[in-house]
Amino acid sequence: MFAKYTLSAFSIFVATAAFGSDADGKFAVRGIGGQACSVWTSIAASTDEAARRDGILAFQAWIAGYLTATNRLKADAYDAVPFLDMINVLAITMNECKATPDELAENTVARVVGAFDKAKVTAESPIVMVPDAGAEKPYRQATIKLAQQKLVDLGYLAADPDGVIGPATTEALTLYQSENGLTSNGELSVDTMFKLLLQ
């Protein structure tokens, strides 16, 4: 399930601001986030399908709650991460957990959220569906505009960002993908969005 997301070299070194803590910056981590990443990578690798499913759903739900709290408490964040599909956020987090098995899951999630700080949505934005490998993925229109702006900044797109995946954006994506080792299909795939937004 997670093998599809081979987002290599994600190593995140972005710190996130503490929302509340004691004088030393420490705070209590409750629930799933207080367990080591190795607990969750073990569950994800389990051959017990029921335990695996239940564990993955529980971790995904905890991450969704963490993101909701971040969105509520962070002054300039309407949506702290660009991916609305929680399976994508979970896959990125699990990738990081594999790299840092002794780290608390909460710290890993905080690093993932911090890495996408420049890609956060700062105000309510409509949800649009974009093609991705025969399916459709939801993104906020503001996130599509940000991806288009990245393509403009990198010299792949000459049009103004409008939040719509039209022919010019598709052509720009195809060229960007072919020059960056991605599947070259002109779709705003998760891997393409990931690479663009962290560039």
Residue 196's nearest CA partner among 158, 132, 162, 152 is 152
Q: Are 183 and 189 in contact (CB under 8 A)?
A: yes
The boundaries of every CATH 1.10.101 domain in the chain are: 127-197
The boundaries of every CATH 1.10.890 domain in the chain are: 31-119
Which CATH code of 1.10.101, 1.10.3470, 1.10.10, 1.10.4160 fits the domain covering 127-197?
1.10.101
User: Which pLDDT band, with edges at 50, 70 and 90, does 1 fall under?
Assistant: very low
The string of pLDDT tens digits covering residues 52-105 is 999 999 999 999 999 999 999 988 999 999 999 999 999 999 999 999 999 999
The string of pLDDT tens digits covering residues 91-142 is 999 999 999 999 999 999 999 999 999 999 999 999 999 988 888 999 999 9
12-50: buried (b, 16+ CB within 10 Å) or exposed (e) per residue? beeebeeeeeeeeeeeeeeebbebbbebbbebbeeeeee
25 has a pLDDT exceeding 90: no
DSSP state of 119: G
The amino acid occupying position 188 is L
User: Which pLDDT band, with edges at 50, 70 and 90, does 12 fall under?
Assistant: very low
- Which numeric CATH code is attached to 31-119? 1.10.890
Q: Token pair of 176, please?
A: 């960007």
pLDDT (0 to 100) of residue 19: 55
Give this prediction's pTM.
0.83
What angle (nearest 5°) sits at the alpha carbon of residue 93, between those of residues 90 and 95?
110
